[in-house]
């Protein structure tokens, strides 16, 4: 059975995080808990962040592991933290939605493009930030496919 890349269990609404580090750790832990990655993957997410920020603009960040983190990935998965009380993701960049991403082979590229399409419009980002249930948030992604 193939794991669902974006499952309801991978979403945290109204996440209470006070820093970029805490957000990355929480997004990574969701991927670990879901069986998508080994715990070592979370360290690779921090390494990636040191190389280059995963802040994307439009209140979005997509932390993910470095190139050499591939062996830590068991299955492609995405976690989503909805953070209505924006956090500073460095350089004064505010973030309200964090997508933790783990890709097996190149499966995550498809996911990334869907996120990019959806989040390129601020109106959609607002919908994600204001979603009141996991189902409502996940429905936004099914509209893209």
Would you please indicate which residues are annotated as catalytic (active-site) residues? 64
| Cβ neighbours around 104 below 10 Å, total | 16
Q: Residue 43: CB partners within 8 Å, gap ≥ 6?
A: none
Distance of CA 18 to the CA centre of its chain: 16
User: Residues 105, 111, 113, 119: is their CA dihedral positive or negative?
Assistant: negative
Find the Cα–Cα–Cα–Cα dihedral 96, 61, 69, 140, rounded to 10°: 70
SS3 133: coil
User: How far apart are the C-alpha atoms of 78 and 64, rounded to whole Å?
Assistant: 10
Strand pairing category for 55-57 and 60-61: antiparallel
């Amino acid at each position: 059975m193939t794991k669902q890349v974006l499952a309801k269990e991978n979403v945290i609404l109204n996440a209470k995080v006070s820093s970029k580090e805490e957000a990355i750790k929480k997004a990574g832990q969701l991927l670990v808990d879901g069986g998508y990655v080994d715990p070592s993957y979370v360290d690779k997410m921090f390494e990636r962040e040191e190389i280059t920020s995963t802040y994307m603009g439009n209140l979005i960040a997509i932390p993910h592991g470095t190139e050499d983190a591939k062996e830590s990935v068991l299955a492609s998965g995405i976690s989503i933290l909805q953070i209505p009380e924006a956090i500073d993701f460095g350089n004064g960049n505010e973030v309200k939605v964090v997508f933790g991403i783990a890709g097996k082979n190149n499966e995550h590229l498809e996911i990334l493009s869907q996120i990019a399409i959806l989040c390129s419009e601020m109106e959609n980002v607002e919908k994600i930030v204001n979603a009141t249930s996991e189902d409502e948030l996940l429905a936004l992604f099914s509209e893209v496919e």
